[in-house]
Amino acid sequence: MAVCLVTGATGYIGGRLVPELLAGGHDVRCMVRSPARLRDLPWASRTEIVTADALDADATRAALEGVEVAYYLIHSMDTGDGFAASDRAAASTFAAAAEAAAVRRIVYLGGLCAGEDLSPHLRSRAEVARIFLGGQVPAIVLRAAVIIGSGSASFEILRHLTERLPVMTTPRWVHSRTQPIAVRDVLRYLRAWASVPGEIDRAFDIGGPDVLTYADMMRGYAAAAGLPRRLIIPVPLLSPWLSSHWVGLVTPVPAAIARPLVESLRNETVCREHDIAAYVPDPPGGLIRFPRAVALALQKIKEADVATRWSSASLPGAPSDPLPTDPDWAGGSLYVDSRTLICDVPADALWRVIEGIGGENGWYSLPVAWRLRGALDRIMGGVGLRRGRRDPRRLRVGDSVDFWRVEELEPGRLLRLRAEMRLPGLAWLELSVHDEGDRTVYEQRAIFHPHGLLGHLYWWALTPFHSLIFGRMPGGIVASSRLP
């Protein structure tokens, strides 16, 4: 059994790979920038967690000490001019650190692509692959196209476009051919390379048995989900930028994440070889076909058994600063809206409502106003309210809750959410419960750290709106906690 390091353990694939490696008997070390986000995961106590950024050579070198197989699952989803340079620098730093630490193998999950006219993100994935393959440490590069699994960004786009639009006018990329692969097969390939012997140093194309267009996948999803056949009318006018905003409005996936995915769809992504079968044989029943992959994903969603989601990873441009506990931290103003309500509801009943906030349960005050705020956020390219929750009843640090992220959780006492909506500043919502004998105290704080003059204007302009929203929340939460 090998000592494995997994980067990107807070992301969609990494969060699923770690328990697979543990089940295979491997020792696992997770390299993350925010260890707190792994704290509440059921497998976290069985791993070693180290703090490091792939751009920090010394920290990365220390994290790789004693590691045999290193999984590189870091992908930038930014759309700014500097993302490719950042990807290049991180991969180069990691490759050099792996060589210095005498790592036996690097495993990288990249993008399936061919030709010269690649999207910027596919081009960056290909460059990262070349860096690892050109290094001194033997590297396995697995090149995948669309990954079909409950919670993946690609699957969420496919699912919501198909479910919400029985008739679609779509860009030309819906007729680009691709070779989707089930997330179970991706994880099987990744897990296997912790044990395959030899110094193999090459890239492998990985894909499922079916070669489909995106239109085929939408029709296939409709059939698997029991929906009527979808009518798809392609139009030539939707650019990737317009397409990403269109996807951002229809699906829970914000435009910032949709854009690199949509841009990549203009390229044909079909496997040119299946050489990996010589090292990792196909399972007895063969690779999972597209209809089966969709059915498995839908079953997971139905059972609320989605281990990781695309929203597990930080969103491009989302704030990652810790909660300011002292106003001096802000170097200026911190705006705080505080509310307290004393009630006779048992603390545990009140906590159940707090931990279940958001998603289908809503926010217990003026639903129309919350929906309006979510719609405005989506128009501005944010996540809005459609992201929902991973689990309808339980939360853990790092979970997304609509346009919030769980930053701190003390079961039965404190829930702190950090805003990931588009804002001219940083914002938090803190809900807490205190049991004082024959009464329970509910406390609520909305905190805003403005950025520049626009941030100050934003707070003051929305103060009446905040008073309505936040002012009604305590009463709504307490009233709901009285229900059986």
**Is residue 154 within 8 Å of residue 121, measured between CB atoms?**
no
Domains annotated for the chain, with CATH where assigned, are: 3-150+173-212+267-297 (3.40.50.720), 327-481 (3.30.530.20)
Between 361 and 300, where is the model more confident?
A: 361
pLDDT tens track for 315-372:
444 443 333 333 333 334 578 899 999 999 999 999 999 999 999 899 999 888 888 8
Q: Would you state the structure tokens that stand for residue 68, as one six-digit string?
A: 């045999």
108-117, 287-296, 404-413: range with lowest mean pLDDT: 108-117
Q: What is the CB-side half-sphere exposure of residue 148 using CA atoms within 13 A?
A: 32
**Residue 273 confidence (pLDDT):** 95
Predicted structure pTM score? 0.70
Strand pairing of 335-343 and 400-401? unpaired
pLDDT at 248: 64
SS (H, E, C) the chain: CCEEEEECCCCHHHHHHHHHHHHCCCEEEEEECCHHHHCCCCCHHHCEEEECCCCCHHHHHHHCCCCCEEEECCCCCCCCCCHHHHHHHHHHHHHHHHHHCCCCEEEEEEECCCCCCCCHHHHHHHHHHHHHHCCCCCEEEEEECCEECCCCHHHHHHHHHHHHCCEEEECHHHHCEECCEEHHHHHHHHHHCCCCCCCCCEEEECCCCCCEEHHHHHHHHHHHCCCCCCEEEECCCCCHHHHHHHHHHHCCCCHHHHHHHHHHCCCCECCCCCHHHHCCCCCCCCCCCHHHHHHHHHHHHHCCCCCCCHHHCCCCCCCCCCCCCCHHHHCCCCEEEEEEEEECCCHHHHHHHHHCCCHHHCCCCCHHHHHHHHHHHHHCCCCCCCCCECCCCCCCCCCEECCEEEEEEECCCEEEEEECCCCCEEEEEEEEEEECCCCEEEEEEEEEEECHHHHHHHHHHCHHHHHHHHHHHHHHHHHHHCCC
Which of 95-109, 115-129, 257-271 has the lowest average pLDDT?
A: 257-271
- Residues of the chain with pLDDT > 90, as a percent, come to 43
Q: How confident is the model at residue 425 (pLDDT cuts 50, 70, 90)?
A: confident
Tell me the pLDDT tens digit for each residue of 235-281: 766 555 566 666 666 666 666 666 666 666 667 889 999 999 999 99
The mean pLDDT of 133-144, rounded to a whole number, is 96
3-state SS class at 285: coil
Instruction: Provide mean pLDDT across the span 279-292.
Output: 94
The answer on pLDDT for 302 being more than 70 is: no
pLDDT at 115: 63
pLDDT of residue 320: 37
pLDDT tops 80 at residue 117:
no
